[in-house]
């Protein structure tokens, strides 16, 4: 009886639950727009996209983690330049005037 009790106690305390934590290398950029014109966003040298300020300002745009140079142009003129550093899963909000 004691052997059975100790065997069940040992087996009951043994934890076979192992998990793997997978991190996505993703960060996000969003905008607070006061204007309704569209603007172009360049992230580093590899990512660029156009944002329609009427419809897309509240959306999240995926950018690489780490250091990013953000350049925003409107009508061919640079209106904002930021050098930012984002960790995994972080979101950075830019105000566009």
Residues 6+ apart with CB under 8 A from 26: 62, 64, 65, 88, 89
pLDDT at 36 over 70: yes
Asked if residue 18 belongs to a domain, the reply is no
Percent of the chain topping pLDDT 70: 76
What's the CA gap between 92 and 29, in Å, rounded? Answer: 5
CATH number at residue 83: 2.60.40.10
- pLDDT single digits (tens) 45-74: 888 999 988 888 889 999 999 999 999 999
| Mean pLDDT, range 28-43, rounded to an integer | 89
Asked if residue 9 belongs to a domain, the reply is no
Say if residues 34 and 48 touch (Cβ distance below 8 Å). Answer: no
Q: What is the pTM of this model?
A: 0.69
**What pLDDT score does 27 carry?**
92
Q: Is the dihedral of CA 84, 55, 49, 38 positive or negative?
A: negative
| 30: containing domain | 25-96
Q: Compare 1 and 26 and report the one with higher pLDDT.
A: 26
Task: Residue 88: count other Cβ atoms within 10 Å of its Cβ.
Answer: 11
Asked if residue 15 belongs to a domain, the reply is no
Q: How many domains does the chain divide into?
A: 1
Tokens 């550093």 belong to which residue? 85
């Amino acid at each position: 009886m004691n052997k059975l009790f100790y065997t069940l106690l040992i087996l009951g305390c043994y934890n076979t639950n192992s998990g793997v934590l997978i991190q996505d290398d993703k960060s996000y950029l969003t905008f607070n727009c006061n204007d309704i014109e569209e603007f172009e966003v360049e992230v580093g040298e590899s990512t660029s996209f156009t944002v329609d300020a009427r419809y897309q300002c509240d959306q999240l745009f995926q950018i690489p983690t780490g250091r990013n140079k953000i350049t925003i142009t409107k009508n061919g003129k640079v209106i904002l330049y930021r050098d930012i550093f984002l960790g995994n899963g972080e979101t950075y909000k830019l105000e566009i005037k």
